[in-house]
Structure 1
Amino acid sequence: MPAKPRSRSGRLAAALTYGLFRATLAVFSLLPFRRRVAAFGWLMAHGLGRLAGYRARIMANLALVHPDMPLADRRALATQALDTMGRMVMENFCPAEFGRSLEGTPLEGPGLADLAEASAQGRPVLFVSAHFGNHEAPRHLLSQRGHRIGGIYRPFTNPRFDADYRRTIASLGGAVFPQGREGTVGFSRYLREGGLGILFYDVRDPRGEDIPFMGRPALTATSAAKLALKYDAALIPWFGIRKPDGHGFRCVLEAEIPHTDPTTMTRDLHRRLEARIAETPEQWFWVHRRWKPRKAQARQLR
């Protein structure tokens, strides 16, 4: 279950934050969907992103990974990345309209054949994705084709945001498993019974392995690969790649990751994401603290 603010002031702050967010959505809902998405992207890029500290974090990450990139280019990329993030937030908090906007969008890529083969064999399928473009776009298209995709998610500390997010996922028909021991057990059972699931691998895991990502060691969970090996699940990456118009998508199911060992498979996942970022770097969520070291390592660096 999501952690609730302990103090009265914490509960009040959570309620006020949620109320302000819902009021903002209500105002934006007066706009047609496409204009609403574009407007929230602009607001995130030119206001909210700076106030929330996201722009500073993106600039720090870009300086770490691309130290030779000119400052003007880093600033431009930060603005573009925040615009992408804002568009994604609005799309995902309006799931019905987002789903309708995707109707007619083709699913493409060799992973489609891998999915069909695994389904014919009764094997579970574990999709893996990253916070890139809009990672929910392929789920919408698969849902429209009759697939139900469950997943583990990290509960929000604000219980109101958490309830909203759970409703958004559930609206697509997939089972929802909160992060933690109970959720992991439930998700594992779901896969063992032949279900279709989704996990994300591009956020920092303090208990993960140091696996290179864009040339820097990054603490990364290998749980997706471990689950695929344990339950003989097809491990298929997907990407919802935003088109240059800011609204359309290419939804790609990549070829299944070969079963070897967890570290090798996760390195392959990193290479897949690195290739996508190299093509359109503004579509990845650079706001993640992706290269933050372990606490012990951080103390040694001081």
Structure 2
Amino acid sequence: MAKKHTFTHLLEYAALKASLALFGVMGLDRASTAGGSLARFVGPKLGVSRRARANIRRAMPELSPEEVERIVVDMWDNLGRTIGEYAHLERFGRPEERHRIDVVGAAALRAMAEAECGGVIVSGHFANWELLPVVMQLEGLEGGEVYRHANNPFVNEWMVSLRQRATGGATQIPKGGAGARVIVKLMREDKFVAMLTDQKMNDGVEARLFGLRAMTAGAPAGLAVRYNVPVVPVGIERLEGAHFRITVYDPITARPNAEPFEETLRIAQEVNDFLEARIRERPHEWLWLHNRWS
């Protein structure tokens, strides 16, 4: 690593740690509120918000400019809250904080945990998406979560450590070849893997999202076909402040004797249909900053 890059990465890491230290002394609820207030003031003015506006207009052209702008502002509020909550992520897994997460369909997760059947838990960048593996741990699902390696190695190491502490040691699975081998091992052990599948995947499969061509992660569908495990869609909603509702939807399963590639495409499309439905319900809680379609 070049010295210039190392120094820049250290500065970024120091700034992150300082910000989260400030959020940490505030307490969870105040940190969530402060993060949201700051982000909704600053975020819409940033250049990256142009992508969010363009994405919203492309996905939902029926919305007025005022509605688009309201979604952008509220999206930043949710993102700022999520950042503030990072300083307290471990708290969500504590018994005394269970009132913060209402799990609709928890019995289905517990039944899968007891059956030790293995599976893939899928969602998107909704509300505070970091709670997905936390809920898996709370409901007894053993396994891991897939994550994208941060460009800053110091930030990446810190994030991996934070997620491990918050989930009681869930396996952290980087995207890529090494991570794929870990996923295969977990599937063979009848364990569970959490994935956020709403980002563009250039080497994925072609599906539709909001009627638009969208290169989509094929891994959940491929695992369902290969290992005969369910793909379980999970929605994440912010109720008020740092309180959430996690909803477990009916699993998507591979059909016996179906042609594997066609079945992979079908399941990938069903996952995208699920994501689109959740986005339409609460568009302000999805991260529109992704370069999803181009």
CA distance in 2 between counterparts of 1:12 and 1:50 reads 28
Tell me which residue corresponds to 1:176: 172
Measure how far apart 1:238 and its partner are: 1.1
Tell me which residue corresponds to 1:47: 42
CA distance in 2 between counterparts of 1:108 and 1:287 reads 28
CA distance in 1 between counterparts of 2:37 and 2:21 reads 17
Tell me which residue corresponds to 1:299: none
Distance 1:78 1:250, change over 3 A: same
One-letter amino acid of the structure 2 residue matched with residue 65 of structure 1: A
TM-score by length of 1: 0.87
Tell me which residue corresponds to 2:254: 259
Tell me which residue corresponds to 1:297: none
Query: Relative to structure 2, which stretch is displaced further, 11-20 or 88-97?
Result: 88-97
Per-residue deviation, residues 8-47 of structure 1 (Å, max 9, x unmatched): 2111111111111211222222322101111112222221
1:181-260 aligned within 5 A: 181-243=177-239, 245-260=240-255
TM-score by length of 2: 0.89
One-letter amino acid of the structure 2 residue matched with residue 85 of structure 1: L
One-letter amino acid of the structure 2 residue matched with residue 222 of structure 1: G
Select 1:14's aligned residue among 9, 29, 35: 9
Tell me which residue corresponds to 2:26: 31
**8 Å contact kept, 1:55–1:82:** no
Would you say 1:84 and 2:86 are equivalent positions?
no
Per-residue deviation, residues 156-203 of structure 1 (Å, max 9, x unmatched): 110111011101221112111222212211211111111111112100
**8 Å contact kept, 2:238–2:244:** yes
**8 Å contact kept, 2:133–2:144:** no
CA distance in 1 between counterparts of 2:232 and 2:12 reads 37
**8 Å contact kept, 2:206–2:213:** yes
Select 1:283's aligned residue among 282, 285, 290: 285
Distance 1:31 1:64, change over 3 A: same
How many residues get paired?
Answer: 283
Same amino acid, percent of matched pairs: 25
Measure how far apart 1:127 and its partner are: 0.7
CA distance in 1 between counterparts of 2:286 and 2:148 reads 19
Is the partner of 1:184 in helix, strand or coil? Answer: helix
Gaps of 5+ in 2: 256-262
Gaps of 5+ in 1: 1-5, 293-302
Measure how far apart 1:286 and its partner are: 0.6
Per-residue deviation, residues 53-102 of structure 1 (Å, max 9, x unmatched): 33222112112223342222211110101111121222234212333474
Tell me which residue corresponds to 2:259: none
Tell me which residue corresponds to 1:143: 137
Measure how far apart 1:275 and its partner are: 1.4
CA distance in 2 between counterparts of 1:266 and 1:128 reads 11
Distance 1:166 1:210, change over 3 A: same
CA distance in 2 between counterparts of 1:64 and 1:145 reads 38
Distance 1:15 1:112, change over 3 A: same
